[in-house]
Structure 1
Amino acid sequence: MTPNELTGLILAGGQGRRMGGVDKGLVAFHGRPLVAHVRERLAGRVAEVLINANRSQAEYAVLGDRVIEDAEGGFQGPLMGIYSGLRAAATPWLVVVPCDTPALPEELVARLVAGLGDADIAVACDGERLHPVVALTRTALADDLAAALAGGERKIDRWYARHAWRRVDFSDCPAAFANLNTEDEKQRLEASLVSPDP
């Protein structure tokens, strides 16, 4: 699978409630917006980087190739963001990542592709738990997801379970999937990623 067959999607469409309602993807982390760190894991590995955002579109526009809003309003959660990305992508495959995981592995895309096999969806697993918003998904599933959303489905893992999916083992780097929901979590991760003085 080549980069031309892949679109990247950064989910930044939430309300950031646990961080005081701020637009989480734009929160500074080591001096740059969180979403900029995440974008680096996708850039050069996919044909296009989409950012799913429901506010601050002008700020996000300089950080991605295209900004897309949820196909339906009302902050309906990450499954709606994934659907919006599947619909907007011009490639057969979509790599989904959240905006608040700045320590994602450098080889994330390659490992998801390698772990897909003949399945339609590959989901990252840190050895203990799945990370359903870190996944590779066939974009042809957009219509199926539209039907699931119309039926009231909002749980990502339940939708994945309707399809052929694979767990991709990232147990060698479990800390890479730390996501930042509070200011305290952000400060702890920032401190842990500071390089020691030479």
Structure 2
Amino acid sequence: MILTEHITGLILAGGRAQRMGGIDKGLIPFHQKPLIEATLTRLKPQVGSVLINANRNITKYAGYGYPVIMDETPDFSGPLAGFSVGLKACTTPYLMTSPCDSPLLPTDLAAKLATELERGDYQLVYASSQEADGKVWAQPVFCLMRTDLQDSLDAFLQKGDLKIDRWFKELKSSTVIFDDARAFANINTPEELQSLEAASA
């Protein structure tokens, strides 16, 4: 059985946030507090330890009291670059990832992903969300993986590929469908920030 203390949570705050005018998304106010605080509040009870992947404002992120790790690749290479440094820094058997800009992430994310990982003896399990109309969307940046995937990911990145779904296809992977699509809502524009604040007031 995968216990909470077997999982390290990795918050991905290393992006460029171009659609938000380049401001650091994790530090945008959400209900008067930086977005990353809402993510931390939901993630912390689900994991044994926390890492933050950031490429800017390192001192501010370090102020939360968790190790801050930077991408080893230049140019904001996307979530897989964060996964890579997260796997290197992780000291537990499992790593669970979440972006810094999804403040309503499921409080049972780790439990459900861990159950599926064990059920099928998978290497990686990611979340999917189901819309009201029944449409299912993959949410690949919310995933639980075994930390022995470091070599596989490094080899994939060395090919110059950054597509997250392509790496997943190389693994024994599965998904868990969550029926609250809003739980995975992320903030890419000021308008999305306003509507998510209103919806979670």
Shorter-chain TM-score above 0.5:
yes
1:143 pairs with one of 151, 171, 195? 151
Q: Which residue of 1 aligns with 2:133?
A: none
Residue 81, structure 1, aligned to residue 82, structure 2: yes
Q: Which residue of 2 aligns with 1:156?
A: 164
- Note if contact 2:42-2:104 (Cα within 8 Å) is conserved in structure 1: no
The structure 1 segments of at least 4 consecutive aligned residues displaced by more than 4 Å after TM superposition are: none
Residue 130, structure 1, aligned to residue 153, structure 2: no
Q: So what's the TM-score if we normalise by structure 1? A: 0.94
Q: Please give the secondary structure, in 1, of the residue aligned with 2:43.
A: coil
Q: Which residue of 2 aligns with 1:16?
A: 17
Residue 176, structure 1, aligned to residue 176, structure 2: no
Q: Please give the secondary structure, in 1, of the residue aligned with 2:97.
A: strand
Specify the code of the residue in structure 1 equivalent to 2:27.
Answer: L
1:119 pairs with one of 109, 117, 122? 122
CA RMSD, aligned part only?
1.0
Q: Which residue of 2 aligns with 1:67?
A: 68
TM-fit CA distance, 1:64: 4.8
Residue 102, structure 1, aligned to residue 103, structure 2: yes
- Note if contact 1:112-1:168 (Cα within 8 Å) is conserved in structure 2: yes
Q: Please give the secondary structure, in 2, of the residue aligned with 1:143.
A: helix
Q: How many angstroms apart in 1 are the aligned matches of 2:181 and 2:46?
A: 22
- Note if contact 1:112-1:123 (Cα within 8 Å) is conserved in structure 2: yes
Specify the code of the residue in structure 1 equivalent to 2:193.
Answer: K
Structure 1: give runs of 5+ residues left out of the alignment: none
Percentage of identical aligned residues:
46
Q: Please give the secondary structure, in 1, of the residue aligned with 2:46.
A: coil
TM-fit CA distance, 1:51: 0.6
- Note if contact 1:93-1:137 (Cα within 8 Å) is conserved in structure 2: yes
Q: How many angstroms apart in 1 are the aligned matches of 2:178 and 2:65?
A: 26
